[in-house]
Structure 1
Amino acid sequence: MHASSLGVLLVVSLVAGSSAAQGGVMSGNGARRIEIGPDESGVSVAVAVSPGLSTVLLFDSELAQDSIDMDAPKSFSIIDVGRMTLRVVPSAKAAPGEKFRVSVRFRDGAAPPGASFLLTVHPARADNLVEVYRSARSIESYQQEAREARAEALRFKEENARLMSEHSSPGGLAGLLAIGGIDVSGVAGKFVTMTISPDPKSSLQPINVLSYRSKDRVALEVFLSDLRGEKPWTASGATLRGPPGIELKVLRVWQKAPITSGGADRVVIEAEATAEAARGAFSLKLWEADGPRTVTIGNVTFP
């Protein structure tokens, strides 16, 4: 069957079949804000970190740079303490699910005198920028946060409208037309198995990879085998990172059945992307829900 025909069938199955929605991180600063009250210095705030990805804690007060206390510092390739910042990059030694406690103290001695964080290792995601406030904030700061909250609420509203539209639309090809997922150009598809770059450390290896692109969506059909370990593996989430600053918003990760030892099955990934955003080579990373096993495939391209 021609790749474009395969593409139509694939996207139709995504609309008509069951799937799990998964939100993705769009390009931007992605700052997370944390406020620490006078009596909260003993409370550990959870922060997501990931091997090879940078996480920066930005404080509104100067740090006592010689008073940083961190668990297992050898599990991090970078620990950089600045005047008002703490940057960490976990190394490959940090396994998904591991937790590392780090505490800081502030130079001025005011309340709270310090702050504690629980760095939790995720196989693919990290809090890139965490802004930590302990002192009184200006009206402008609250106004900025209100603007960001309204923008986030609007994004949630648009996402909810999209999901409701998909659920209320007909299935099959008519459903694709109803939600605007296809136009007269149809769906383009191509085999990329020969040009991808699998990571030999992955828990499964790709035996066949096909990529597809429609008007404002892309999809991947990844056939995996050679499972390491006896426990069945099911994809729980995915990221698609491209050129610097580009990360596609993953909409769905679908898998019919768990992959078992000695077996093979496919995983389908769908993401939002215009023709412009889909240009260049991407790195796909898949992970399971309750375990450290991941799959990384580099040099993935779309039609």
Structure 2
Amino acid sequence: MTATPAITSARKSPARPGTPKPARASGSLWRRGRRRLLGALAVGIALIWAFPIYWMVNSSFLPHNRIRSTEPTFLPIDGSVAAYQRVLDSGFFSALRTSLTITLITLVAALLFAFLAALALSRFRFRGRTSFIVTVLVIQMIPAEALFISQFKMLEGWQLLNSVLGLSLLYVATVVPFTIWMLRGFVAGVPRELEEAALVDGCSRTQAFFRVTLPLLAPGLVASGVYAFLQAWNEFTLALVIMNRPDSMTLPLWLRTFTDANRVSDWAGIMAGSALIAIPVIIFFLLVQRRMAAGLVSGAVKG
């Protein structure tokens, strides 16, 4: 009867020193500190990456003498929107309409042709398949400047100089080879067994493609679309050769009008125009990010 309290007290006695609990606690503190250090490092890298964008927007509100001053101005306290007014009154909307039209045509056409070609290369075996893949790679090795004269003569013969359709055709031809190569990897990464399982469940070949395969390919389509969008939106040299009339300029060509070798460059106007050009790109990325997140999971669940 007297042994029971002793046993009970022994069970309730605290753990002896040297147990592994303090070691686990110290390991947890070390991992937490490492995560905080990596987080601070990531924030620092993000600030360095975002500083040129901040400086562009900041300079767009400053007068010309403050921009060219040797003392930097980090906050436009006494700035104005005069540069934005000059930009909006100097043909910005006309160039914006031209760039948006060319970019949308390039985006839709490049994704359509590249997607069909990637499906054919990944899902079918046909004569000349390897040669076609090699040709796609070889085309990427040709410098774009080497084709300017032939492209100019071709569009001149078709009477498509200074036209949205002519420049869109060249952009599509430039973007499609690399887009095919990108999409081919995404299509090859989708197992055929998923389509076969959908066929067993009663879907037709078309229904299996649109309900199973296409949602899983959404990230690849988004990545390829981002590449096509940026190539068409920011391209300068080819547009400079083809669009040589002031009323048919794209946004990169229009931004060049604020610089002149015979007078002082309007740096505030350049910064304001660059900030406005970046707005459609930011909107596009915000829309694309949601579609990419939805595409990663929409085809992975059977409903």
| Same fold, TM-score > 0.5, yes or no | no
Higher helix proportion: 2
TM-score by length of 2: 0.23
Larger C-alpha radius of gyration, 1 or 2? 2
TM-score by length of 1: 0.23
Higher strand proportion: 1
